[in-house]
Structure 1
Amino acid sequence: MSSTLPTSDEPSTAAEFSLRRIAVPAFGPSLLFGLGEGAILPIVPLMARDLGASVSMAAFIVTLIGLGSLLNNIPASFITMRWGERWAIVVAGLWSALGMALCVFTQGLFPFAAGCFMVGMSQAVYNLARQSYLTEAVPVVYRARALSTLGGVMRIGMFIGPFLSAAAVHAFGISAAFAVGIAGVLCAAAVGARLPDLVSPPLAGGQAAPAPVSLGSILADHRRVFLTLGLGILLVSAVRASRQAAIPLWADHLALAPALASLIYGIAGGIEMLMFYPAGRVMDLKGRRWVAVPSMLVIGAAMLWMPFTTGFVSLLLAATAVGFGNGIGSGLIMTLGADHAPRHGRAYFLGVWRFLSDVGGSCGPALLSVLVAGVSLAGGIAAAGVMALAAAAMLGRWIPKRTGHRP
C-alpha cells in the first residue's frame, strides 16, 4: 500500500516540508523519462531512413513526436482527472515503452511513425501529471524551486540519454538505442508508482463541497489568464524552440565545422543545466517577474546580436548568453501555470496551459523557416529576438508583482 502525502499551503506545512523527502519519487521519474526519450531522439531520423524514408519524410516523423504531445495535452487532462497523477505517470511510461517497442520490432515505416506518435502522446500525459502532482504536493513558498528542479532534472536526463544510446549502438547496433529508451521509461513508471498519494485537506466545518468542474467551465472562468499571460507563454515557447534551430543554422552559415557547431550548442546547453535551481530560488524569494522578464530580455538581446557574429568566439558568446537566459527561465512556464491553476479542475487548466505552450513550441521553428525562406537567415533570427523582447513586455505587464512569498 502506498503512503499518502497531505496537501496544504499553510505556513506550518511549509515549515515542515523538505524537497529531499520527495526527491526520489518526484524527480527520479523525470530523470529516467528524460533519459529514455533522449536516447531515441537522435536515432529516430536514422532509423526512419533505414526503413526507406526520404529525408523530408524522416524529418516529418521526428515532428510526429512533438505533434503527438501537442494534440494530446487536453486528453491528458481527462486522464489525469480520472485516474490521478500517480497512475497517469505510470501509464505514460508504459505507453511510451509500447510506442518504442512498436518502432523497433516492426519493419514498416507506418508502424514506426505510429510508435513515434505514441511517444509524443506519452509526453503530454507525463508532463501534465508530474506538474499537477508537484503543484499540489509542494507548498507555494517552495513551488518555483520544485518545478525548476523538475525541468532541470528532465534536461539532465535528455543530456545523458544520447551518450548511453551511442554506447549501445556502437556495441549492438542501431536498434539498441530503443532498448535503452524502453528501459528508461519503464524504470520511470516503476519509480512513479511509488509516489505518495495526495490527500486533500478536509473541508472546514460548514464548508460546502466544491461544485463540479469541466473543461468548458475552466476555459470560461480563466479566459482572461489564457488570453493575456497565456499568449506571453506562447511567445516564450516559440522563442525557446526557435533558438534550438538558430544556433546550428548560423554556425553553418559561418562555415564552422560540425564539431565546432556541436561544441557551441553543447556549451550553451551546459550553462542552461547549471541555472535551474538558482532560477527557482529567485522566483520563490523575489517573485516570478525577477526571472521571467530578464530571461526574455537576455535571450532577445543575444538573438539580435547573433546575426552580427562572425566566427567561433563571437557566436559562442552569443549562444552562451542565449543558454544563460533560457537557463534562468527554467521552470518558468510550469510555475506560472501552477500559480494560476485552481485546486479543483487543476488538470484541465494545466492541459490548456501546456497546449498553449506546445503551440508556441511548434510555431516558433515554422515561423523561423518562413522568414528564412522569405527574407534571410539573419532576418529570421532577428525576428526571434524581437519576439523575445515582446514576450518580456507581456510577462512584465501580466505577471502579478508578487506571486511568491518568503518562507
Structure 2
Amino acid sequence: MADSSFSLKSIAIPAYGPSLLFGFANGAILPVIALTARDMGATPALAGLIIALIGLGSLAANIPAALITARIGERRALLGASFITIIALFLCIFATHTGLLALAALLIGVSTSVFFLARQTYMIEAVPFYMRARALSILGGVNRIGMFAGPFAGAGVMHFMGLSGAYWVGVAALVAATVLTWLMPDLEVEPKVQDVPVMRPRMRQIASEHAAVFLSLGLAVMLISAMRAARQIVIPLWADYIGLSPAATSVIFGISSAADMIMFYPAGKIMDEWGRLWVALPCTLIMGAAFALMPLTTTAIPFVVVAMLMGLGNGFGSGINMTLGADASPVHGRTEFLGLWRLISDVGTSAGPFVLSGMTALVSLGAGITLTGGFGLVSAVIFWRFLPHTRADKIQEHHS
C-alpha cells in the first residue's frame, strides 16, 4: 500500500484504542498479583514464581498464537485474547488457592501474546510502509501510556475495595477493549499481491528460510529485550543498594518511565524518514551506557540522571522490535514469522533477569548490571552490520 493520502488519524480508534485499554488493564493488575499471592500465604519465592508464569505463558504461546491468528484472523484473535484475560482476572478476584492464581497468571501471559501478535499483524497490513515505524512506535507508546496510568487507577480503587479493586479496574478496561474491538469495522486493506491461492508455509519452513535474519537481527532484538526486562529490576535494586527509600525509588522509576514515554513518536518518525538504523543505534548505545554508568552512582542525583538516561534509551527504541520484524516478514506466512520473532524477543525478556541475578550471585550486583549493559554494545554492532545505512525512502520500494 503506497497511498500518500493515508492518515493514522483515520484508524486511530480501532488501531490504538484496544491496545491502550489492554495496557491500562495490565498496568492496573501486575503490581498486585504478587501481593495477592502473599495474602494467600505464599512465600516470597512462590509469589515471584507466580509472576514469572506470566512471562512463561507469553513465551510458550507465541507459536500457537501465530497459528491461531493465521487461522481465525486478527480481529477474532483480539476478541479472544481480551475474553481470556477477563476470565483470568475473575480467577484472581475469586481465587482461594495459589494454584488458581498461578493458572490466572499463565492465562494472562498467553492472552498477552495473542493480543500483541494479532495487533501487530493488523497494523502491518493496514498501514503503508512509509508510515510503518510511526504506526508501530505509537502502538508501543500507547501500551506504555496504559501501563503507566493503570497502576494509579488501580491504587485509587484499591483505596475503597482492597486488592480486588485493581482487578476490577482491569476487568472494566478489558470489557471496554472488547466492546471497542467488536464495534469497530475491520480495517480496509488493499491487496498487495494478486489474488491467487497460495498455501500457507509451515512454521518449520519459515524458520528455515529466514534463519539468517533470526540469527542476526533476531539476536539483537533478543538482547534489547533482555536489557528492557533487566531495567525493571536494576532501578529498584540499585536504589536499595545505595540506601534510597521505597517511596523515593517509586518516584525515580516513574521519572524514568516518563522519559521513556516522551520518545515514542520521535523515534517512529526518525525510523520512517532516516531509516531503522538511526533509532536502533541510539537505543542500544544509550541503554548500554546507562547500565554501565549505573554502578558508578552512589547518591540520589546521579542515580536519577542515569535512570532517566535508561528510560530515554528504552523510549528511543519504542516499536523497534515490531518494526524490524514487520520489515523482515514475508507476505505469505507473515503471522507465522512474527510468532517466531516474538518468541525470540520473549526469550530475551525471560533470560535478562536470570543473567542479571546469576552474575550478581557469582560476582556482585554492579558486575551483573555492567554485563547487561554489554548487551547494548553487542546489539549495536549487529545493527550496524545488518541494517541498511540508507534513508528509509531509498529502500521503500522493496517493501511496497
Specify the TM-score bucket, using the shorter chain as the normaliser. over 0.9
Contact 1:86 1:195 survives alignment (8 Å): no
Contact 1:78 1:347 survives alignment (8 Å): yes
Residues 30-68 of structure 1 deviation map (CA, whole Å, 9 limit, x = unaligned): 110011111111110111111121111011111111111
Residues 178-235 of structure 1 deviation map (CA, whole Å, 9 limit, x = unaligned): 111111122112212214245452754xx85434312122112111111111111111
Residues 337-392 of structure 1 deviation map (CA, whole Å, 9 limit, x = unaligned): 00011111111000000000000011001000000000001111111111111111
**Residues in 2 aligned to 1:263 and 1:199: alpha-carbon distance in whole angstroms:** 43
Matched, 1:87 2:108: no
Contact 2:126 2:187 survives alignment (8 Å): no
Residue type at the aligned position of 2:267: A
Which consecutive segments of 4 or more residues in structure 1 shift more than 4 A? 197-200
- Superposition RMSD in Å: 1.5
- Which one of the candidate residues 24, 41, 59 is aligned to 1:52? 41
With the length of structure 2 as denominator, give the TM-score of the two structures.
0.96
- Which one of the candidate residues 109, 125, 131 is aligned to 1:120? 109
**Residues in 2 aligned to 1:209 and 1:223: alpha-carbon distance in whole angstroms:** 26
**What SS does structure 1 have at the residue aligned with 2:392?**
coil
**What SS does structure 2 have at the residue aligned with 1:188?**
helix
After superposition, residues 2-401 of structure 1 pair within 5 angstroms as 9-10=1-2, 13=3, 15-193=4-182, 194-201=184-191, 204=194, 208-401=196-389
Classify 1:168/1:399 alpha carbon distance in 2 versus 1 (closer, same or farther; 3 Å). Answer: same
User: Which deviates more, 306-315 or 186-195?
Assistant: 186-195
Gaps in structure 1 of 5+ consecutive residues: 1-8
**Residues in 2 aligned to 1:110 and 1:165: alpha-carbon distance in whole angstroms:** 24
Residues 220-276 of structure 1 deviation map (CA, whole Å, 9 limit, x = unaligned): 211111111111111111111112211111111101111221121111100110000
Contact 2:125 2:189 survives alignment (8 Å): no
The alpha-carbon deviation at position 114 of structure 1 amounts to 0.3
Residues 99-126 of structure 1 deviation map (CA, whole Å, 9 limit, x = unaligned): 1111212212111110111011100000
**Residues in 2 aligned to 1:182 and 1:210: alpha-carbon distance in whole angstroms:** 40
Residue type at the aligned position of 1:250: W
Contact 1:235 1:391 survives alignment (8 Å): yes
User: Which deviates more, 274-283 or 388-397?
Assistant: 388-397
Q: Corresponding residue for 1:5?
A: none
Classify 1:300/1:401 alpha carbon distance in 2 versus 1 (closer, same or farther; 3 Å). Answer: same
**Residues in 2 aligned to 1:360 and 1:151: alpha-carbon distance in whole angstroms:** 18
Percent same amino acid among aligned pairs?
A: 47
Gaps in structure 2 of 5+ consecutive residues: none
Residue type at the aligned position of 2:17: G
User: Which deviates more, 356-365 or 180-189?
Assistant: 180-189
Residue type at the aligned position of 2:227: V
**Residues in 1 aligned to 2:104 and 2:309: alpha-carbon distance in whole angstroms:** 36
User: Which deviates more, 281-290 or 168-177?
Assistant: 168-177
**Residues in 1 aligned to 2:30 and 2:226: alpha-carbon distance in whole angstroms:** 20
**What SS does structure 2 have at the residue aligned with 1:43?**
helix
Contact 2:11 2:187 survives alignment (8 Å): no
Classify 1:392/1:267 alpha carbon distance in 2 versus 1 (closer, same or farther; 3 Å). Answer: same
Name the count of aligned residue pairs. 394
Residues 87-108 of structure 1 deviation map (CA, whole Å, 9 limit, x = unaligned): 1111100010011111212212
**What SS does structure 1 have at the residue aligned with 2:31?**
coil
With the length of structure 1 as denominator, give the TM-score of the two structures.
0.94
Contact 1:26 1:195 survives alignment (8 Å): no
The alpha-carbon deviation at position 401 of structure 1 amounts to 2.6
**Residues in 1 aligned to 2:246 and 2:354: alpha-carbon distance in whole angstroms:** 23
**Residues in 2 aligned to 1:116 and 1:220: alpha-carbon distance in whole angstroms:** 33
Residue type at the aligned position of 1:353: W
The alpha-carbon deviation at position 400 of structure 1 amounts to 2.4
Classify 1:245/1:202 alpha carbon distance in 2 versus 1 (closer, same or farther; 3 Å). Answer: closer
